[in-house]
Amino acid sequence: MKYLAATAFLIGNLAFTAPAMAQSGNNDLRPNIADESVRFVFVYGQDPCPKATGDEILVCGQLDEEERYRIPPVLRSNPNDPQIQPLDQRIKTLSRISASGINSCSPSGAAGFTGCNQLFVADAYEEKARGDGVSYNQIIEAERQRRLSKIDAESEEVEKRVVEFEKARAAKEARENGEEEDIDEGLPEPK
C-alpha cells in the first residue's frame, strides 16, 4: 500500500514537472539537471562500489553480507497484517473503509473519487515520516556541488593559461613591431 501511494505521488509530481524539464532555456552555467544520469547501487559486505562512468552520479549503499540473498527487510512481512498495526492505525483504516461520499476516495457515493489525491498525498507524507532517513536528494546535491567545485577550479586554471598566452602574444607582437621600426630607421631613403 505504501509503495502504491509513493508511486502515485511520484507520477503526479512528474506530470507537473515534465513541462519544466522539457524547456531548453538554460541561462546559467550550471549543468542541466535533466541531462544527468543518476544510478542507485547496493553492494554487500566488502564488495567495492562500482565506478561512475562519464557524467553519471552514482549513489552506493553498503549492506551486510548476510543480506545478500535475502528479501529486503521492507518486503519481508505483510505491513497490512492487523497484528502488526498499532491501534491508531487500525482506527484510521476503519475510518477510511467506512467513509463514503465527497472527498472519501471511495467507489461508493457521488463524487467519492475526489478525495483520492488527498489520500495519496497524506499516505506519502506518512511514509516519508516513517522512512529510513536516507535522503537521496541530499546525496545527489552533494555530488553536484563536488562536481561544480571541480568545474570552478578547472575554469580558473584555464583562465590563468589564457592570460599567460595573451601576455606572451602581446610581448611577441611588441618585439616584432619594435624590430620592424628599427629596420625602417636603418634603411636609406630611396633616390
The CB density around residue 153, as the number of other CB atoms within 10 Å, is: 10
Instruction: Name which residue leads in pLDDT, 28 or 126.
Output: 126
Asked whether 43 and 62 are in contact (CB, 8 A), the reply is yes
Residue-wise pLDDT tens digits, 96-153? 777 777 777 777 666 766 778 888 888 888 888 877 666 778 888 888 888 888 888 8
Average pLDDT, the chain: 76
Please give the full DSSP string across 6-48, using - where no structure is assigned: HHHHHHHHHHHHHHHHH-----SSSPPGGG-EEEEEEEETTPP
Instruction: Determine the pLDDT at residue 18.
Output: 55
Task: Read off the pLDDT of each residue in 30-49 and give the average, rounded to a whole number.
Answer: 80
Residue-wise pLDDT tens digits, 16-27? 555 555 555 544
Categorize the per-residue pLDDT at 162 as very low, low, confident or very high, splitting at 50, 70 and 90: very high
Percent pLDDT > 70 in the chain is 71
Instruction: Name which residue leads in pLDDT, 6 or 46.
Output: 46
Is residue 35 over pLDDT 90?
A: no
Is residue 183 over pLDDT 50?
A: no
Note if the pTM is more than 0.75: no
Asked whether 63 and 43 are in contact (CB, 8 A), the reply is yes
Maximum distance among all alpha carbons in the chain?
117
Is residue 48 over pLDDT 80?
A: yes
Is residue 80 over pLDDT 90?
A: no
Cell of 187: 634603411
Distant-in-sequence, close-in-space partners of 52: CB < 8 Å, separation ≥ 6: 39, 58
Categorize the per-residue pLDDT at 165 as very low, low, confident or very high, splitting at 50, 70 and 90: very high
Instruction: Determine the pLDDT at residue 86.
Output: 83
